[in-house]
Chain A
Amino acid sequence: MTELRGYKELPIGAVPFRLSTDYKTGDWRALRPVVDNNKCVKCMLCWIFCPDMAIIWDGEQIKVNYDYCKGCGICAHECPVKAIDMVPEPSE
């Protein structure tokens, strides 16, 4: 404690001002969803049920945004054709 900070130096309080997209939650994951786009029937149920908005539909294919996916496995469980596999994350 060298010097007390005045109110002008303090960060903005009470107002969250940065988007949480800067905060990557992908490292919470133990299992990684892998989409088999040959099996996929594009029913979009994974996109609808994903709690982390980590499934991306680019107009042709279902992709997973591994920056945010927490690996809950809802997509794999709800997929009607079982096109999503949950595989263990490679250990580093």
Chain B
Amino acid sequence: MAQQTLPQIPIKKGEPAYKLWIFEPGWKGELPLILNPRQLAEQKRAAILPGHRLCAGCAAPIIVKLASFAFRGPTIVVNATGCLEVATTIFPYTSWAVPWIHNAFENAAATASGVESAIKAFKKTERLPWDHVDVVVFGGDGGTFDIGLQSLSGAAERGHDFLYILYDNEAYMNTGIQRSGGTPKYAWTTTSPVGSVLPGKTQHKKPIADIMVAHRIPYVATATPAHWLDLMKKVRKGIEVNGPAFIHALSSCDRGWRHDTALAIEVSRRAVDTCYFPLWEWTPEKGYMLTDRSLSIARNPKLKQPIERFLEVQGRFKHLLRPENRHLLKDLQEWVDKVWEDLLNRAVNAPR
């Protein structure tokens, strides 16, 4: 199939840099997946426009931006309620350069199923002027771990062809940092406060990506914006597979995680370096495959850093670094090591 670039003019001097994604009816082909940053900057435009009102230093628009570089053509974005939805579409403004639909917390995947079925019906009756229209869902951790899990599970079971990208900022950041199923153990949130009685949240994070693996859908992966090449490749794979795909992307939140705005990428990098958030992908044929930095750590265990490296930059874990809380830190380190060992045993490309 002939490869084409976006049907937009590349930036020339004096031309505005922000444009909508418009695909003329009859547009054929696939947008190439460009991995050279210079070419990327010259040929690609993000699906999210500036002027959105997400906090300074939020990682969610970086995930959306990187994902949109990997879109292969006409794409419809379905957005669950959450920071991303609230801050990008404050009436009457919209930050989306692609068709976009909002829905409630609990039915993001159900809406995507409907959109995908409509596309299928249009295709069958030859009313769809394009070869393929992809459906991409962006959901936060509240809309995926807790409230939207039933619709996601149902859509995965019915086998609709869509890509679900979970940007996981590990609490309900939009409403004021309440704990969610995605909040890690011992993290401070406003509903799991740190004090003389409680050391923060007392339960572990839900293994959402492993839950999606258990559905045996065609593609499941984890990603972070810091490993941007890895994220783009995974998004493209997720779009290309025929059937539901799920990507769990860690998205740091400087307000909720209590770190400096400039450290948004650094924190995600440290999450992978400490094996708190390993990068892997899963397909039914191959099983678990470690990717990018996590593969390097599996091959050379000396690169694995202690969990303190991840915790020390975040205010929500400040209490864990106090001398009287050493046992909590040890507990967290043991849990991270156990999960990592478990993953190493399952991964097919990890050295034995």
Binding site for B on A (CB under 8 A): 11-13, 16-25, 28-29, 42-45, 47-54, 56-59, 65, 67-68, 70-74, 76-78, 86
Contact = CB atoms under 8 A, between A and B. Distances in A.
B92 A16 contact: yes
26 contacts: A13-B91, A16-B90, A16-B94, A20-B93, A20-B94, A20-B95, A28-B56, A42-B38, A44-B40, A47-B37, A48-B37, A49-B225, A49-B228, A49-B265, A51-B57, A51-B62, A51-B65, A53-B65, A56-B11, A57-B38, A58-B13, A71-B56, A72-B56, A72-B261, A73-B261, A74-B265
B46 interface: yes
Given A48-B37, A53-B18, A72 B264 contact: yes
Nearest to B61: A51
Nearest to A44: B37
Contacts of A29: 56
- If over half of B's interface residues share one DSSP class (helix, strand or loop), that class is named, otherwise mixed; here it is loop
Contacts of B91: 13, 16
B289 interface: no
Tell which of B13, B38, B260 has the most Cβ of chain A within 10 Å: B38
Contacts of B135: none
Contacts, number: 133
Interface in B131-173: none
Interface stretch (B47-55, B184-192, B343-351): B47-55
A21 B49 contact: yes
Interface of B: 11-13, 17-18, 20, 37-38, 40-42, 46, 48-62, 65-66, 88-95, 225, 228, 254, 260-266
Contacts of B46: 53
Contact of A20 (B52, B55, B57, B62): B52
